[in-house]
């Protein structure tokens, strides 16, 4: 078992840096709690789906789809609040019901996939109204001077009919590097579009559906592209498009591509365009940074996806939902730290956020047994980790491959694998992070990174040589 201590820099040297500070226990968060089904105040991270996050002077708020395990959800957009991105409290519904215009247009009985932004002194809540399998959909807008309301409905922002090729749901509003405001949207049908907004009204500056920036080759659950979210990273001067692929119930997974322009083209690590519907296999397009997984024998997660992204100072976080492996009817809110590769690609921590910060790691903490996982783009559903051993002598043992590992003395590790059967080698550059092991309820090291083909790799230490 790892023995990680929370102490500082006394006696540290260049060859023996200070012991890292691991996050303390976040406390128990109950899973599959049937006693709380009808008690929203006890839901914490349960019944969260399609979360959109916003930071305010009053704390962090997540607005999410109207869902409820074991019954019908009250309509109106669910709202939660946190002071630390770890512990979440129920606030209530933003709206008293589906607004009348949205209900008349779409027939919606609940609201989906909200996004909240602040413009000047006003908060804007964008919501989706639709029904499953329909393109008779509407993105609406409500405003308030307060993040907790009351909200005033401002009607339709974008509407689609069943005869249209696209679907007006899943809005995300983003301001570009030049101060222009845009809305990226779309789900399942017709791909992802982006349109410029009038900043004073929060509605489209011009008629029409805007520009297509992502699509897939078929309208099926395993060919879906949904839940777009765009951020701009000033350091790399790039726009990053996050989307979710495949079935939201079974094998959702998050993909990323980037562009020099907010309107695209967005390309992945291998230069494939997100609009290329002729490329086969389609699952190869986009960097898969998060999918269903199981680390070791611990219960894992199914269909993580429909994310938002928070930039908080110099830190980035991905906020998404995931379904528990033991009962996929239960959807939970996850927050994970995003790290960035040297060449400017986001990678995601294999563990949920518990207050960790990136810092230098002593080399002596690295050797030991690790659960190792490759986010294979071709795998639908859960991916099972394998066990590897990182030796103090720089060797890697485990699975069908052997290799070597090296360390830069700070927090970056290079794994070089050799496969004599296939006469090839592969190199993976990963970053270490002192984290909380939510599965085993203890502190541990994790790593996250990519290989030379843009495939995400994860690791979690499960025993050490300490």
Let me know: does 272 contact 288? Beta carbons within 8 Å.
no
Residue 16: what pLDDT? 55
Q: Which CATH class is domain 40-346?
A: mainly beta
pTM, 2 dp: 0.95
The DSSP 8-state label assigned to residue 409 in this structure reads: S
Q: Tell me how far apart the alpha carbons of residues 216 and 272 are, in angstroms, rounded to a whole number.
A: 12
Cβ count near 46 (within 10 Å): 24
Tell me if 137 sits within 8 A of 106, measured CB to CB: yes
Gap between the Cα atoms of 230 and 172, Å rounded: 7
Partners of 464 in the beta sheet? 368
Give start-end residues of each CATH 2.40.128.10 domain in the chain.
1-26+347-466
Q: What is the DSSP letter of 347?
A: E
Q: Residue 466: its pLDDT value, please?
A: 58
Distance CA 270, CA 262 (A): 19
- Distance CA(122)–CA(137), nearest Å, equals 25
Neighbours of 47 (CB within 10 A): 25
Instruction: With CA atoms as reference, report the closest residue to 187 among 151, 158, 156, 152.
Output: 158
**Paired sense of beta strands 293-294 and 424-437, if any:** unpaired
Question: How far is it, in rounded angstroms, from Cα 446 to Cα 216?
Answer: 33
Q: How far apart are CA 113 and CA 126, in angstroms?
A: 8
Q: Which 3 state secondary structure label does DSSP give 190? A: strand
Where, residue-wise, is CATH 2.115.10.20 in the chain? 40-346
Q: Is 295 helix (H, G, I), strand (E, B) or coil?
A: coil
Q: Which residues are catalytic?
A: 50, 226
User: What does DSSP say about strands 253-259 and 386-390: parallel, antiparallel, or unpaired?
Assistant: unpaired
pLDDT in tens, the chain (466 residues): 344 444 333 345 445 567 899 999 999 889 999 999 999 999 999 999 999 999 999 999 999 999 999 999 999 999 999 999 999 999 999 999 999 999 999 999 999 999 999 999 999 999 999 999 999 999 999 999 999 999 999 999 999 999 999 999 999 999 999 999 999 999 989 999 999 999 999 999 999 999 999 999 876 767 899 999 999 999 999 999 999 999 999 999 999 999 999 999 999 999 999 999 999 999 999 999 999 999 999 999 999 999 999 999 999 999 999 999 999 999 999 999 999 999 999 999 999 999 999 999 999 999 999 999 999 999 988 999 999 999 999 999 986 678 999 999 999 999 999 865 554 568 999 999 999 999 999 999 999 999 999 999 999 999 987 5
What pLDDT is stored for residue 272 in this prediction?
98
CATH placement of domain 1-26+347-466: 2.40.128.10
Taking a C-beta distance cutoff of 8 angstroms, is the pair 302, 324 a contact?
yes
pLDDT in tens, 135-183: 999 999 999 999 999 999 999 999 999 999 999 999 999 999 999 999 9
Which run of H or E residues covers position 101?
helix 100-106
Residue 2's pLDDT is: 41
Helices (H), 330-426: none
Q: Scanning the structure block, which residue is given the tokens 């519904």? A: 93
């Amino acid at each position: 078992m790892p023995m990680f201590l929370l102490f500082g820099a006394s006696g540290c040297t260049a060859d023996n840096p200070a012991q890292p500070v691991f996050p303390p226990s976040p406390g128990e968060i109950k899973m599959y709690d049937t006693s709380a089904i009808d008690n929203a105040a006890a839901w914490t991270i349960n019944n969260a789906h399609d979360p959109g996050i916003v930071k305010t002077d009053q704390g962090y708020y997540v607005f999410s789809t109207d869902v409820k395990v074991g019954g019908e959800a009250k309509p109106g957009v669910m709202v939660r609040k946190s002071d630390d991105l770890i512990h979440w409290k129920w606030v209530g519904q933003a709206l008293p019901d589906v607004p009348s215009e949205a209900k008349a247009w779409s027939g919606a009985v609940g609201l989906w996939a909200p996004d909240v932004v602040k413009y000047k002194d006003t908060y804007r809540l964008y919501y989706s109204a639709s029904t499953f399998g329909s393109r008779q959909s509407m993105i609406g807008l409500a405003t308030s001077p307060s993040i907790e309301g009351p909200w005033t409905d401002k009607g339709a922002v974008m509407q689609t009919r069943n005869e249209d090729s696209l679907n007006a749901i899943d809005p995300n509003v983003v301001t570009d590097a030049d101060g222009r405001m845009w809305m990226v949207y779309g789900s399942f049908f017709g791909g992802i579009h982006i349109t410029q907004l009038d900043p004073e009204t929060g509605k489209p500056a011009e008629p029409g559906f805007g520009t297509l920036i992502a699509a897939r080759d078929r309208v099926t659950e395993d060919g879906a592209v949904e839940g777009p979210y765009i951020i701009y990273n000033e350091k790399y001067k790039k726009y990053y498009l996050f989307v979710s692929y495949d079935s939201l119930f079974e094998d959702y997974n998050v993909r990323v591509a980037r562009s020099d322009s907010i309107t695209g083209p967005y390309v992945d690590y291998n230069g494939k365009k997100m609009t290329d519907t002729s490329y086969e296999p389609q699952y190869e397009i986009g960097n898969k940074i998060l999918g269903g997984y199981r680390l070791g024998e611990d219960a894992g997660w199914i269909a993580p996806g429909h994310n938002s992204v928070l930039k908080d100072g110099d830190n980035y976080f991905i906020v998404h939902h995931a379904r528990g492996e033991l009962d996929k009817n239960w959807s939970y809110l996850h927050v994970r730290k995003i790290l960035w590769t040297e060449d400017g690609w986001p990678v995601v921590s294999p563990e949920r956020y518990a207050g960790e910060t990136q810092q230098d790691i002593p080399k002596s903490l690295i050797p030991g047994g690790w659960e190792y996982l490759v986010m294979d783009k071709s795998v639908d559903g859960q991916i099972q980790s394998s066990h590897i051993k990182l030796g103090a002598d720089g060797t890697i043992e485990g699975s069908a491959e052997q290799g070597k590992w090296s360390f830069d003395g700070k927090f970056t590790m290079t794994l070089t694998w050799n496969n004599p059967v296939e006469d090839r080698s592969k190199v993976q550059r990963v970053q270490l992070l002192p984290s909380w092991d939510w599965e085993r309820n203890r502190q541990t090291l994790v790593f996250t990174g990519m290989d030379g083909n843009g495939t995400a790799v994860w690791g979690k230490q499960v025993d050490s040589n300490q």
